[in-house]
Amino acid sequence: MRKICATVFSALLLSIIAQAQLPTGGNVFFGYSYSGGHAFTGNVTPTPFPTAGGANMNGWEGSVEGKYLPWIGVVADLDWHYGGHEVTPGCVPPACTSRAPFRLSASRHELLFGPRASVSIGKYTPFAEFLVGFAHQSDSGGGISNSDTSFATAIGGGLDYKLIKGLAWRVEGDSTHTSLFGTGRSNLRISTGIVFRF
C-alpha cells in the first residue's frame, strides 16, 4: 500500500513540476512535537540491553507548504525527536547491587515531502497529507553508539485555527513509518504550534 501511495505521490509531484507553476500562496509551520520511538531495538544482535526498547521522544517539527491550487499544496517537512530511558544491565544477585542503571538515548530526524489537501471552513482549515522521504537515527548509551538511515513515510492530517489575518494555530497527527536498523516500525507523531500564512 505504501509503495502504491509513493508512486501516486511521485506522479503528482512530477506533474506539478512539469507545469512549472509558482505557488500562489502557502504557509510556514513551527512547533513542539512528540513521537514514540525506540532505543537500541533491532540494531544490536543480541542486544546487550535486555530492557532496551520503547522511548518517549520530544522535539520539534517545521514545515513549508506552497499552494498550487486553492485546495492542494506541496509540503517540505523536517522534524527532530530525542529521548530515551533508564536500563539496568542484566546481572545475577548479589552482583546486581554493584551495577548502576544508565541511560539509553536516541535522536531521530526525518526529512519528508509530499502533497497536502486542505479546505477552509470559516476559521478552521482541516487538511490531510501523505509524505515520503528519509529518516536518520543515532543511539548511544553504555559505551555503545550506532546510527542508521532509512526510507520513511508519514500519513495523517490536522487542523489549523485562524487567530488573526496571516496567523493560525495548528494541531497535527501523523503515523510515521521507518525501517531503521532493519526493523519496520510505525510511530505516532503529534505536533502543535504556530502557522504563518502568506
Rounded CA-CA distance 21/14 in Å is 12
Query: How confident is the model at residue 96, as a pLDDT?
Result: 55
Could you tell me if residue 83 is inside a domain? yes
Domains contained in the chain, number: 1
Q: Which contacts of 174-177 are long-range, i.e. CB under 8 A and separated by 24 or more positions?
A: 174/129, 174/131, 176/35, 176/110, 176/135, 176/152, 177/2, 177/152, 177/153
Could you tell me if residue 123 is inside a domain? yes
Question: What SS3 class is residue 8?
Answer: helix
Query: How confident is the model at residue 128, as a pLDDT?
Result: 98
Could you tell me if residue 32 is inside a domain? yes
pLDDT tens string 22-74? 667 899 999 999 998 887 765 444 444 444 457 789 999 999 999 988 899 99
Rounded CA-CA distance 137/83 in Å is 11
Could you tell me if residue 140 is inside a domain? yes
Q: What is the CATH number of the domain that holds 110?
A: 2.40.160.20
Q: Show the low-confidence residues of the chain (pLDDT under 50).
A: 20, 43-52
Rounded CA-CA distance 32/193 in Å is 6
Could you tell me if residue 22 is inside a domain? no
Could you tell me if residue 120 is inside a domain? yes
Task: Name the grid cell of 35.
Answer: 513521537
Determine the structural domain holding residue 73 and report its residue range.
Answer: 2-17+27-197
Query: How confident is the model at residue 37, as a pLDDT?
Result: 85
Query: How confident is the model at residue 86, as a pLDDT?
Result: 74
